[in-house]
Amino acid sequence: MIRETDMTGLVWGVRLFLVIVSVALFAMFFFVLWLLVRPVITEFLRARSAGDMWLPFLPNERGDYGPLASNRWWSVFRSESRGSSGELAWRWTAWVLTSVGLTVGSVAAMWAWVRALGRTWV
- The burial of 59, by beta-carbon neighbours within 10 Å (0-12 exposed, 13-18 middle, 19 or more buried), is given as middle
Give Cα 121 distance to the centre of its chain: 28
Q: Across residues 102-108, what is the average pLDDT?
A: 92
Residue 98: name the closest of 82, 76, 116 by CA: 76
| Cα–Cα distance measured from residue 85 to residue 118, given in angstroms and rounded to the nearest whole number | 48
- Percentage of the chain surpassing pLDDT 90? 59
Q: Which domain holds residue 81?
A: 4-120
- Top mean pLDDT of 14-18, 69-73, 100-104 is at 100-104
Mean pLDDT to the nearest integer, 29-33: 89
Amino acid at 30: F
What confidence tier does 122 reach under pLDDT thresholds 50, 70, 90? low
Strand, helix or coil for residue 104: helix
Helix (H, G, I), strand (E, B) or coil at 112: helix
- Tell me: the pLDDT tens digits for 54-73? 999 999 889 899 899 988 88
Of 106, 93, 91, the C-alpha closest to 33 is 106
Whole-prediction pTM: 0.78
With CA atoms as reference, report the closest residue to 57 among 66, 49, 48, 45. 66
- The total number of structural domains in the chain stands at 1
Residue 87's identity, in one-letter code, is: E
